[in-house]
Amino acid sequence: MRPPSLQIQSVEDAFGRNGWHAEFVEGKDVLRSLFSGHHTRIELIAQAYPPLNALAVIGEMPLPLPEPDDHQPAILELLARANKSLNLGGFEFDLDRGRLVFRITNLFDREKYDADIVTSMVHCTVAELDRLAPYALTVTQTPADLLDDLDIPRLLEREDLIPPVPGDEENHP
């Protein structure tokens, strides 16, 4: 079995500096971790691609759709509309596993990845999944016969579903 690459070791170092627990996936340049957001728990994978000096950070949460698949078009519309407002990363829906996914990738110019960038990628992944979770759950909990009445653009404008920004609670009681 080959040892972890310098790239994934630098990701593990960044996790350690932040006090985040992560475990190596045996034989791969992959770390697994679990994060708790305001609305949901996020399963996070950080995968290094040494030949490219690239890092992908992927966050997932379960989002089973009710049977039959009446909710699938509404979930896919939600993700397409959410992706339009993103500058970094993107949402996906794993149809086979019923999982909401956020993925962000960065190319580094050195073999040892910048810890601040790795930290930002993890924060972004957790924040974006946690932000979208209540909207996605609203869609899945809408009765099938009312889905045509669900206004996804208006749903995405609901600020009461957005988790508070850390530190903002002090400024906005």
Q: Looking at residue 131, which CATH number applies to its domain? A: 3.30.1460.10
pLDDT, one tens digit per residue, over 91-112 is 999 999 999 999 999 999 998 9
* Domain assignment present for 100: yes
Using CA atoms, how far apart are residues 17 and 15, in angstroms rounded to an integer?
5
Lateral strand order in the sheet of 23-24: 23-24, 30-36, 41-49, 54-62, 99-107, 90-94
Residues ≥6 apart with Cβ < 8 Å to 67: none
- Write down the pLDDT at residue 172: 43
Query: What distances in angstroms separate CA 54 from CA 121, 140, 144, one per listed residue?
Result: 12, 34, 42
23 belongs to a structural domain: yes
Q: What is the spatial distance between Cα 159 and Cα 108, in angstroms, rounded to a whole number?
A: 35
Range of the domain at 85: 6-167
Model confidence over 141-167: pLDDT tens digits?
999 999 999 999 999 999 888 777 666
Total structural domains within the chain: 1
Span 117-143, average pLDDT: 96
In a domain, 118, yes or no: yes
Name beta bridge partners: 54.
49, 107
- Residue 64 falls within a domain, yes or no? yes
pLDDT for 12-35, tens place per residue? 999 999 999 999 999 999 999 999
Mean per-residue pLDDT over the chain, rounded: 92
Token representation of residue 126: 């957790």
172 domain-assigned? no
At 105, is the secondary structure helix, strand, or coil?
A: strand
pLDDT of residue 67: 80
Matching residue, tokens 């809408």: 142
Does residue 129 lie within any of the structural domains?
Answer: yes
66 within a domain of the structure (yes/no) = yes
Residue 63 lies in a domain: yes
Q: Look at residue 167 in the predicted model and tell me its pLDDT.
A: 63
